[in-house]
Chain A
Amino acid sequence: MLADTSLLTMLTTTPLFAVGLTLAAYLIGNALFQRLKRPSWLPAILIAALLLAGALALIGLPYATYQQGATWLTVLLGPATVALGMPLYQQLPRIMELWRPLAICLPIAATLAAFYAMAIAWLLGSSDTILASIAAKSVTAPIAIGITEQLGGTVPLLMGALLITGVVTIPCVSLAARLLRIDDERLIGFALGLNGHAIGTVRAFEISPQAGAFASLGMSLTGIFTALLLPLAWRLMEMGG
């Protein structure tokens, strides 16, 4: 512990401490990411999250206290999700060209995104709680939290699953695109958003606004589809097992 407890208590009475810590970790994470020549296996968000976790541990700030202050930032996740409606609209003509293949692909791919991970975890002997916590791993955070609570999973584990899934989706998509010889930014964007939720979508916007719009579409459709069907499928599995 670096700071003495009374100073820490004083600083954490204001949410600005958590806000400042988050902004600093994010900016340093991004700067390091640029300095390391943008490695695809170590995205900026992962560097930033590690820095932030390290800083919290170092100053001995309990996560719950931090999280409470950081609400001042996370509340913006709502309007930020709404904002994705803008690139969606701008790419609407290109999306309509592909509506049929996208509509067929989405239910299958979104189901498998949840199924593969759950099946592997189940084969490796994971508990029901763990299965319920990682089921929504490809769904954007605000929707995934609701699904996980419904299934009886733990939200912190879900958030970790979201981080890992989002981070590994990026190299997986570049690998799979190379294997299947795909260079269409629309497909790459859609796959990034469908599998890698907000983290994949941020990556898609780095590729191009078009990829970003297809990622937003993939992310929101996966969220809606999974929210509607996963709790139902879970109940059926519970009845069957």
Chain B
Amino acid sequence: MPALSGFLWLVSYWLIGEVVIHFTGLPISSGVIGMLLLCATLAVRGRVPTSIASAAQPLIALLAMLIMPGVVGVFFIIGELAGQWTAILIALLLGTLLSVITTLWLLKRLITPTHAR
């Protein structure tokens, strides 16, 4: 039962996110708003209730599976974009490599010894 009530909390926070978006018109997804609200609530309470932990942990572990139905769609538009794929692939591969290097280089530069563990 704790997992079920934890799940209800997660769903409620998501729905609150929807309400916030409806009234503010923010271009963010309700999941992210719910995530920030959940984090804020836990910070106020000072601990993670067992119910939320038992619902959140398995869901986080399944994140990759949940985006699978969407990403599989790309295999069905391969034909439509014939001739364009080389450019798209190079842009994504090289672009990601460059942005990963930039991110890590920036972080290394910005983090001084005072931030050491």
What's the least CB distance linking A101 to chain B, in Å? Answer: 4
Q: Given A70-B69, A73-B66, A118-B91, are A169 and B34 also a contact pair (CB < 8 Å)?
A: no
* B73 & A44 in contact (Cβ 8 Å cutoff): no
Q: Number of A-B pairs whose CB atoms are under 8 Å?
A: 322
- Residue numbers in A under 8 Å from B104 (CB-CB): 173, 176-177, 180, 182, 187-188, 191
Does the CB pair A63–B72 fall under 8 Å?
yes
What does DSSP make chain A's interface, helix, strand, loop or mixed? Answer: helix
Count of chain A residues with a beta carbon within 8 Å of a chain B beta carbon: 111
Which A residues, 35 to 62, have Cβ-Cβ distances below 8 Å to chain B?
44-45, 48-50, 52-53, 56-57
Chain A: residues with CB nearer than 8 A to chain B?
A: 18, 22-23, 25-26, 44-45, 48-50, 52-53, 56-57, 63, 66-67, 70-71, 73-74, 76-90, 92, 97-98, 100-102, 104-105, 108-109, 112-113, 116-121, 124-127, 130, 134, 137-138, 140-143, 146-147, 150, 154-157, 159-165, 168-169, 172-173, 175-177, 179-180, 182, 184, 187-188, 190-191, 194-196, 198-199, 201-202, 205, 212, 216, 220, 223-224, 227-228, 231
Binding site for A on B (CB under 8 A): 7, 10-11, 13-14, 17, 27-32, 34-39, 42-43, 48, 52-53, 55-57, 59-77, 81, 84, 86-108, 110-111, 115, 117
